[in-house]
Amino acid sequence: MNLPQITAYLENLRSSLKKLRITEDFCEKLIDSVEIRIYSLLRHWNEISFRKGILAVGHEEGCFYEPAAKLEVKCFVVVTIRNSLFETLQSDQYQTTGLKHPLCDKEIKAFTKNAILYFNKLDFEALSRQLANDTHEDFYQNIVSKYPASWAALQRLWTSSKKIGYPAVPCMPAVIQELSFDNPDYNNEKRLLTVAKLDGMDPTIDDGLKGTLRRLQSGQIQVLYVGSFKHLSRNFEKLMRVMEFVLTNGSAFVTVNYFIQNGYIEKRPEILRAAHGEEEFLQQLHRKDRLGANHQKVIQSLIE
């Protein structure tokens, strides 16, 4: 079923996108990508653990979105809209959408602000109850069911605890075997912090990342560090896939805000905004106050 409140938002979004003169084909693909994310998350909204797990991916951004609104709504906008094909409009692949230049930060903020103002007025719990028999693709459920270690971690990130212990999830060999390491540059350690020039929604695991994962698998390194979830990818399945590989190899997945192992998490008491640019990235590395011991050790090693 289609909810009139969601249909109204999508039509408004379509109208705004057409003013940018992107191609009709890409416009519809973008709308579809937003729609399946919205309906999937709303379907599970009243399942608190599920809701918190998905919203955790957007926490490092949503905390700092404007205007003032419920935090869950701002994180909802991150994961369902910002982390959709909308990303292509401001990526290196913007020309594939028909744009003559990528969207600037001001233009992006206009879209996210409008979405926050719209969704902040809705009763998500009531909408969720109407979707008991929804027939839309269950986007999030289809992905999280494949990556149990990553999903177990995400479902615990929203808690207020600084340190979180929980039963480790058994390794899934199929996930590890799925990754291939064809001709990566295994020895170039500088590629640990290299950002591949890919669309943020591209599922590709580039050679630099493959090399890092290969070194991790062989025990040469014990940690995959990225500035924030979005700095690895806005593609939800790619994020889950890489995290699953890291966690089930007995290693740690670390951002400036989180230290995540299979069965153990340390989190920064006050979330730092996902960094914009190298200068802010480096500044955040020196924010070691109140970090857990393992988290602080990783950050210190990066500084050194």
**Helices (DSSP H) in 131-227: which residue ranges?**
139-144, 148-157, 173-178, 207-217
Domain boundary residue among 140, 156, 171? 140
Residue 281: closest CA among 216, 221, 172, 195: 195
CB contact at 8 A, 257 and 271:
yes
DSSP-derived 3-state class of residue 200 = coil
CB atoms within 10 A of CB 271: 17
**Pair (26, 155) in one structural domain:** no
DSSP 201: T
**Pair (57, 132) in one structural domain:** yes
Contacts by residues 181-186 (CB-CB < 8 Å, ≥ 24 positions apart): 181/210, 181/211, 181/213, 181/214, 182/210, 183/207, 184/208, 184/210, 184/211, 184/214, 185/211, 186/211, 186/214, 186/215
**Pair (212, 172) in one structural domain:** yes
| Domain span holding position 293 | 146-303
pLDDT score for 173: 67
**Pair (89, 150) in one structural domain:** no
CB contact at 8 A, 165 and 264:
yes
**Pair (297, 235) in one structural domain:** yes
pLDDT score for 188: 41
**Pair (169, 256) in one structural domain:** yes
**Pair (224, 172) in one structural domain:** yes
**Pair (127, 228) in one structural domain:** no
Residue 302: closest CA among 223, 200, 211: 223
pLDDT score for 160: 84
**Pair (233, 290) in one structural domain:** yes
**Pair (102, 174) in one structural domain:** no
**Pair (162, 200) in one structural domain:** yes
Domain boundary residue among 140, 174, 197? 140
Give, for all 304 residues of the chain, the pLDDT tens digit: 899 999 999 999 999 999 999 999 999 999 999 999 999 999 999 999 999 999 999 999 999 999 999 999 999 999 999 999 999 999 999 999 999 999 999 999 999 999 999 999 999 999 999 998 888 889 999 999 999 999 999 999 998 889 999 999 987 666 656 654 444 443 343 433 334 445 789 998 888 898 899 899 889 999 999 999 999 999 999 999 999 999 999 999 999 999 999 999 999 999 999 888 888 888 888 888 889 999 999 999 988 8
pLDDT score for 193: 38
Indicate whether this model's pTM tops 0.85: yes
- Number of domains observed in the structure of the chain: 2
CB contact at 8 A, 230 and 61:
yes
Domain boundary residue among 117, 140, 163? 140
Residue 53: closest CA among 65, 40, 66: 40
**Pair (87, 177) in one structural domain:** no
Residue 31: closest CA among 90, 97, 93, 95: 97
